[in-house]
Structure 1
């Protein structure tokens, strides 16, 4: 006569403990990955303004706004209508216009040896990207257009696109006041007007901009 045997309470307890340990390990691993991503994104917001002001310290003019870059760097000078060497970066933060200051800023920083990346403005590798694949860009608070210029507490803004809400909130907490609609950093829905999102959706991508 065959007799079916089930698990003993001890065996079930062992299985549950192992499952719990595995689940805890997976959750811890996800947390470490998320923290690494946020730190990588945060490094852009820390480093790029430093490059920006290092260029100003060396050449007494801002990158992109340097209309003599051809002379001392062999770079391109901005020639877009209305864009003058006036201490402000003009042009959209994500401009693809090769004569805009905001577009040429990256070439100037790279030719000066302050930032890494392609210096050929026609290269497919020229446009800077964050670790999530979203675009990076710098412009004046006035030229940003996505939010009222008075929202920001300084003249220039660094924007990083395609950042999930969960990471954007962590970034804001790490670098600013933790409120996506207040302070120097704003969490924005790309292409919309407003002062920022107070409660970003965790799995939705956002444009994060910080004044400096």
Structure 2
């Protein structure tokens, strides 16, 4: 004789409800949004730092020129004007002596740093090299501040804040069009 089994209620399987899943997804979305916004703020601060560096270097070049009636790097009397300079420029009005320019500015007290006049260079907030230089960038030539290896989004923001936002016109030029795809612009120049 078999005994009838007592009636057991069916086991209820537990899982996540749609409401619980929705709450988790909202929290994940808020966290990702916060991280992305934070990265945007960091990038914005770096762009502002690069712009400030450009403005400061332009002011330093103008102050050097006002004081010594010559451009840093190009100054034919730099060794007399700023004792300790490793060389003079050729005085042609073009700062092709880009390695001497930061040394002349630093020794003259216009910028901070120690530059040997031959192999040292300045760097930007993004880490690329910065030159006070006479160069051709984006179809324009002349003296300016050149920033190397900036993300194209940085170059575009700098151009938009200081000029017209177009890579090949105005006083801010870049070697490539702005694509905002994370590519690197090899040279961005702010001409003065």
TM-score bracket, normalised by the shorter chain, equals 0.7 to 0.9
The gaps in structure 1 that reach 5 residues or longer are 92-100, 189-196
**What is the root-mean-square deviation of aligned Cα atoms in Å?**
2.1
Q: 1:211 to 1:13 in 2, by over 3 A?
A: same
Q: Number of aligned pairs?
A: 181
Give the C-alpha shift of residue 46 in structure 1. Answer: 1.3
Out of 180, 189, 200, the residue aligned to residue 179 of structure 2 is 200
1:159 match: secondary structure: strand
Q: Which residue of 2 aligns with 1:113?
A: 109
Runs of 4+ in 1 over 2 A off after TM superposition: 119-122, 145-148, 197-202
Alignment of 1:1-212 (within 5 A): 2-74=11-83, 75-78=85-88, 84-89=90-95, 91=96, 101-121=97-117, 126-140=120-134, 144-148=135-139, 151=140, 155-188=142-175, 197-200=176-179, 202-206=181-185, 207-212=187-192
Tell me, in whole angstroms, the C-alpha distance in 1 between the residues paired with 2:166 and 2:138.
15
Task: Flag the structure with higher strand content.
Answer: 2
Give the alignment's TM-score, normalised by structure 1. 0.77
Give the C-alpha shift of residue 20 in structure 1. Answer: 2.0
2:86 match: secondary structure: coil
Give the C-alpha shift of residue 136 in structure 1. Answer: 1.0
Give the alignment's TM-score, normalised by structure 2. 0.84
Q: 1:76 to 1:45 in 2, by over 3 A?
A: same
Tell me, in whole angstroms, the C-alpha distance in 1 between the residues paired with 2:11 and 2:62.
82
Q: Which residue of 2 aligns with 1:96?
A: none
The gaps in structure 2 that reach 5 residues or longer are 1-9
Q: Is residue 66–residue 77 contact of structure 1 (8 Å, CA) maintained in 2? A: no
Mark the structure with the bigger radius of gyration: 2
Tell me, in whole angstroms, the C-alpha distance in 2 between the residues paired with 1:45 and 1:200.
23
Tell me, in whole angstroms, the C-alpha distance in 1 between the residues paired with 2:182 and 2:90.
40
